[in-house]
A and B are shown apart, each in its own frame.
Chain A
């Protein structure tokens, strides 16, 4: 048995991660369910949105303490930020509160579609990387944007599967495969838009390095069970990718020779 190689860690910004699932912390029915779901997911990284909870002071402290008590690495995010300045300010605040230079960078172009503003994203990434932040940019599957993010200093790219919270899965499998092929050495994380574990498995089978999601777990009828289901699916997809899945073919491939016919 060679499954689940112990050395199959994902290395991001010099940190080795055994789990390839990252989980968001918002929209759960209660912090108690959030804690159980994080445990069930086996994740080592959770994202935390700062903007809403911050208020004018450090009034979100109770919730942040709760997140810290989960004993996982916190990846603060700039969710909902609409401008470069807002995203940069939020990142600064996050660094102070969570004592980490990791930041999931979101610059949102439009409150309705929640599409990333890739122009602002590249600009904010350049500023933050220049200040020593380890930037995880939430982006589209556009290859040139990806290139510019890497030039800006990002060592990981996080393309969307589908619009945030839509649960539509992998909207553009071709685009995601191209991205994988175009950035062979860069850790790629499918972030946002997944609704079902099968979609996470599909992304991992394509060779994506990890999955980041929130709504699909938080809004499931049983968030804890769904967190575990995503853990299994992410792991299954990863193992399948490493096992080199067969290529599809047009004709049936009989596993025993068919007598009387050549080459079948």
Chain B
């Protein structure tokens, strides 16, 4: 079985890896110069199936557990130190609300928060600890996946190649993972803008992602390599990629500063903005076009790393075993 996968973002990479692992002859093509240079490049990389339940459908947690298994066992590049949820004292109702919507956490008082993250000691009196959650460094994880795919004997990975999805060139199947670029083929796909930034400081150490709750601007801060922290991400119903706004940065920096004042002295290493490909219910889809032997995997919204592995498995079930049992099939 020869399968062409178009797009080496997180969906394309996880799909190509799963297909190759299960014996398909995979040809992964990407228009950009390397893997993971689209919107996945700006991802937070949190593998947080329980936390995400706060605002996502139950299926996100369900499929996210497969993602957690993938990143911690099958392709173990994740750090599984759990995640921490805190809020300034005046926003304690937000933590209570978060706790009502989620599960598999431990309620933390100030000393417990200090024990988990010594640099946050005496800064927060109330929080939630999700011990089983994990995070990956997205860029390193995607490079590792791309290398792993290229090592399968019948696999080929090519960059800088714009290939028309309509030209099937002798492939049995095409798996289309072009994200927002596939919009013309998926009319109800929309973009949800997100902005992020990366800070560098030696004055703060965090062992795990920390979510700072706020009624209007919830923000997460994820360790991103030595002394680096990724701060994300705004959520705007807007399809304008690339433009980083002062307002977005103020929200993110304000939250980082509230988490720890030492972030005020941190260096801003990078800022970024892009759009998340999203369907109206903010759930991903496997869109099957059987006559064209084409399968779209799209609509990652903000769950690409969390849900990529589970979607890849279902895509491979469809293509290799003709098993079509998934509620995400459209």
Q: Which of A53-61, A169-177, A241-249 contacts B (4 or more CB under 8 A)?
A: A53-61
Choose from B191, B280, B282 the contact partner of A66 (Cβ within 8 Å): B280
Q: Which residues on A sit within 8 Å (CB–CB) of B57?
A: 29
Choose from A29, A32, A53, A54 the contact partner of B55 (Cβ within 8 Å): A29
Is B243 within 8 A of A60, CB to CB?
no
Is B238 within 8 A of A30, CB to CB?
no
Choose from B56, B100, B238, B243 the contact partner of A221 (Cβ within 8 Å): B100
Is B280 within 8 A of A61, CB to CB?
no
Q: Which residues on B sit within 8 Å (CB–CB) of A33?
A: 281
Is B236 within 8 A of A35, CB to CB?
no
State the CA gap A219–B98 with chains docked (Å): 11
Q: Which residues on B sit within 8 Å (CB–CB) of A62?
A: 190-191, 237, 239
Is B280 within 8 A of A221, CB to CB?
no
Q: How far is the CB of A81 from chain B (nearest CB, A)?
A: 12
Interface residues of B in 240-281 (CB under 8 A from A): 240, 243, 247, 280-281
Q: Which residues on A sit within 8 Å (CB–CB) of B100?
A: 221
Is A52 within 8 A of B238, CB to CB?
yes
> 1/0 per position for A43-58, CB-CB distance to B under 8 A?
0000000001111110
Is B237 within 8 A of A53, CB to CB?
yes
Known: A55-B243, A62-B191, A221-B100. A32 touches B238 (CB 8 A): no
Q: Which residues on A sit within 8 Å (CB–CB) of B280?
A: 30-32, 35, 66
Say whether B215 faces chain A, with CB atoms less than 8 Å apart: yes
Q: Which residues on A sit within 8 Å (CB–CB) of B324?
A: none
Is B56 within 8 A of A53, CB to CB?
no
Interface residues of B in 40-61 (CB under 8 A from A): 55-57
Say whether A63 faces chain B, with CB atoms less than 8 Å apart: yes
Q: Which residues on B sit within 8 Å (CB–CB) of A31?
A: 190, 237, 280-282
Say whether B193 faces chain A, with CB atoms less than 8 Å apart: yes
Is B190 within 8 A of A57, CB to CB?
no
Judged by DSSP, the binding face of A is: helix
State the CA gap A257–B240 with chains docked (Å): 74
Is B190 within 8 A of A63, CB to CB?
yes
Q: How many residues of A contact B (CB 8 A)?
A: 22
Say whether B73 faces chain A, with CB atoms less than 8 Å apart: no
Closest partner residue, chain B, to A64 (CB atom): B237
Say whether A165 faces chain B, with CB atoms less than 8 Å apart: yes
Q: How far is the CB of B266 from chain A (nearest CB, A)?
A: 23
Is B240 within 8 A of A57, CB to CB?
yes
Choose from A59, A219, A221 the contact partner of B239 (Cβ within 8 Å): A59
Choose from A56, A66, A219 the contact partner of B240 (Cβ within 8 Å): A56
Q: Which residues on B sit within 8 Å (CB–CB) of A66?
A: 190, 280
Closest partner residue, chain B, to A215 (CB atom): B215
Closest partner residue, chain B, to A112 (CB atom): B90
State the CA gap A56–B282 with chains docked (Å): 24
Choose from A30, A55, A215 the contact partner of B193 (Cβ within 8 Å): A55
Q: Which residues on B sit within 8 Å (CB–CB) of A63?
A: 190, 237-238
State the CA gap A56–B246 with chains docked (Å): 13
Is A221 within 8 A of B236, CB to CB?
no
Is B216 within 8 A of A165, CB to CB?
yes
Known: A29-B56, A32-B282, A221-B101. A165 touches B239 (CB 8 A): no
Is B243 within 8 A of A56, CB to CB?
yes
State the CA gap A253–B62 with chains docked (Å): 58
Say whether B184 faces chain A, with CB atoms less than 8 Å apart: no
Q: How far is the CB of A113 from chain B (nearest CB, A)?
A: 11
Closest partner residue, chain A, to B281 (CB atom): A32
Closest partner residue, chain B, to A61 (CB atom): B239
Known: A55-B243, A165-B216. A60 touches B282 (CB 8 A): no
Is A52 within 8 A of B240, CB to CB?
no
Closest partner residue, chain B, to A166 (CB atom): B215
- Can you give 20 A-B contacts (C-beta < 8 A)? A29-B56, A31-B281, A31-B282, A32-B281, A35-B280, A52-B237, A53-B236, A55-B238, A55-B240, A55-B243, A56-B240, A57-B240, A59-B191, A59-B239, A60-B238, A61-B239, A62-B237, A63-B237, A219-B97, A221-B101
Supply 20 further A-B pairs (C-beta < 8 A) apart from A59-B240, A221-B100: A29-B57, A30-B280, A30-B283, A31-B190, A31-B281, A31-B282, A32-B281, A32-B282, A52-B237, A53-B236, A55-B238, A55-B243, A60-B238, A61-B239, A62-B237, A63-B190, A63-B238, A165-B216, A219-B97, A221-B101
Task: Identify the 7 closest CB pairs spanning chains A and B, nearest first.
Answer: A59-B240, A63-B237, A32-B281, A30-B282, A62-B190, A55-B240, A32-B280
Interface residues of B (CB under 8 A from A): 55-57, 97, 100-101, 190-191, 193, 215-216, 236-240, 243, 247, 280-283
